[in-house]
Amino acid sequence: MTISKELEELKAYSSSDRCVLSVYLNTNPGDPEQLNGAWKIHLKSGLKRIGEYLKASGDEKEIKDLDEIKNKIIKEMEENKLELHKGVVIFATADGDLWYVNYVQVPVKTNFYWENHPVVEQLEYMYKAYPEAGIIMPSFGEVRVLDTALGFVRDDITYRFDLVSEQWKESEKVDISNRREALKDKTAKLDTRYKVNKSSFYRGMRETIEQLKKKRGWREFHVAGEAEMANAFAESLRDLPASCIYKNLNNSNAEEVVHQVLEK
């Protein structure tokens, strides 16, 4: 399900009682304020503040509901503490009717809400800034594609040109350290007629990109590569990219690619 669809469902969710906890938690290890797992303290403090507010109101049902949700959230975070990214967004009810967890790779401002509906405004803002997006990195004989949402890399796919069938085919994953040598060897074998007209050469990838856009729900896509390759690939497509960045990032890890393309 795309994030836009998830947002629609979250915005439509409401309860007759106040029983929905919304949590936005900054877990960014690169943030100076998050040193030594400070998110644990912020999580505990935020949940404690809401608990104190409910105790002051004297609503026993809400207090009980919060305790149940709190235990679920603490367990969730503890089980995933080694796989945290920049932030996490959680919407939950005690009865389990609503349980939404999204570990995101974009900045999150820590906030806690107790309402009769999920408080989605910050998630909507993040989505507008980092929607489902493809990052396409063409080089000669190889096209690497990152499928991203909220800055998180959902998939990293490489397509290579097959000399026998003269078609682009999805390739087995290759370690970044080995990609450069593999591509060098493949490029040397490519027929010169493909080197003359690169736009025509890349046109064989057009249908694949269009299928990925539809299947992955991309709201936009970006092209990154050496100027000659990036321009030729962009020209081979029916739709214009949201940006065209003249950097060869094929041998960079996925997180660095996202930083170079989406966060600049």
End-of-domain residue from the set 128, 147, 175: 128
In the block, tokens 């060098």 appear at 184
Tokens representing 46 are 């935020």
Q: How many domains is the chain partitioned into structurally?
A: 2
Per-residue pLDDT at 140: 80
Q: Structure tokens of 128?
A: 């507008």
Q: Are residues 80 and 152 in the same domain?
A: no
Q: Quote the pLDDT of residue 84.
A: 87
* Separation between Cα atoms, residue 120 and residue 22, nearest integer Å: 8
Q: Quick one: 136 and 124 in the same domain?
A: no
My answer on whether 113 and 196 are in the same domain is no
User: Tell me, what's the pLDDT at 85?
Assistant: 87
DSSP strand pairing (133-139 vs 142-149): antiparallel
Residues 168 and 179 grouped into a single domain: yes
Say yes or no: 171 and 212 in one domain. yes
Q: What is the CATH number of the domain that holds 11?
A: 3.30.960.10
Domain with 32 in it: 3-128
Give the chain's residues under pLDDT 70: 173-197, 199, 264
Phi-psi region of 48 (alpha: psi -120 to 50; beta: other; left: phi over 0): alpha
- 87, 110, 128 - which closes a domain: 128
Phi, psi of 249 (to 5 degrees): -110, 10
Do 257 and 144 lie in a common domain?
yes
Residues 140 and 245 in one domain: yes
CATH number at residue 139: 3.30.420
**Lookup result for tokens 């932030």:** 87
Tell me which of 128, 162, 196 is where a domain ends: 128
